[in-house]
């Protein structure tokens, strides 16, 4: 029963191997997404970014709201490139804006509860969740949800 191989991706030269930015637990209860669902969710998120162009690091920052697994992050970037969601050019990511803007009123839902922001780890009493076809992304605080969507 090895549903998820503990792939350590050893010997990868461009793996920064820095786990200094917090302890995001991607398997926290309630996230409940498998690997394929995470890829789809991240691709939808990338398709909805409201920037024409972003540094790779900023794009990875967004993807890290879906997964903190560097191997999966690379897989997502490869897949986004392959599907034409983004173009990769020497350290920058050019997004293909297809009018896929998130409509805040209908796609961002708020829920009361005891949450932790998935981006910055802050405690929240109101969680903002972005609804994509592939699933829900969140919770986020009010400013992080805008950052994740590229509005600020
Ligand atoms: Zn936050």
Report the separation in Å between the CA atom of 57 and the middle of ligand 1, taken as the mean of its atom positions.
17
Per-residue pLDDT of the chain (152 residues; tens, 9 = 90+): 545 555 544 444 454 444 444 444 444 444 578 899 999 999 999 988 877 888 999 999 999 999 999 999 999 999 999 998 888 888 888 887 655 666 666 789 999 999 999 999 999 999 999 998 888 999 999 999 988 887 66
Q: Residue 115: enclosing H or E segment and its boundaries?
A: strand 108-116
CA 151 to ligand 1 center in whole angstroms = 14
24 Cα–ligand 1 center, Å:
12
pTM: 0.67
């Amino acid at each position: 029963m090895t549903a998820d191989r503990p792939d350590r991706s050893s010997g990868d030269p461009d793996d920064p191997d820095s786990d200094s930015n917090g302890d995001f637990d991607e398997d926290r209860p309630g996230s409940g997404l498998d690997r394929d669902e995470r890829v789809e969710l991240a691709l939808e998120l990338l398709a909805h970014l409201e920037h024409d162009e972003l540094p790779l690091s900023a794009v990875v920052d967004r993807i890290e709201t879906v997964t903190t697994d560097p191997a999966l992050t690379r897989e997502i970037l490869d897949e986004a490139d392959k599907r034409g969601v983004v173009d990769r050019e020497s350290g920058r990511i050019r997004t293909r804006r297809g009018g896929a803007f998130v409509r805040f009123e209908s796609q961002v839902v708020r829920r009361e509860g005891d949450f932790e922001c998935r981006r910055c780890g802050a405690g929240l009493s109101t969680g903002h969740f972005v609804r994509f076809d592939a699933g829900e992304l969140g919770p986020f605080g009010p400013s992080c949800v805008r950052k994740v969507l590229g509005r600020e």
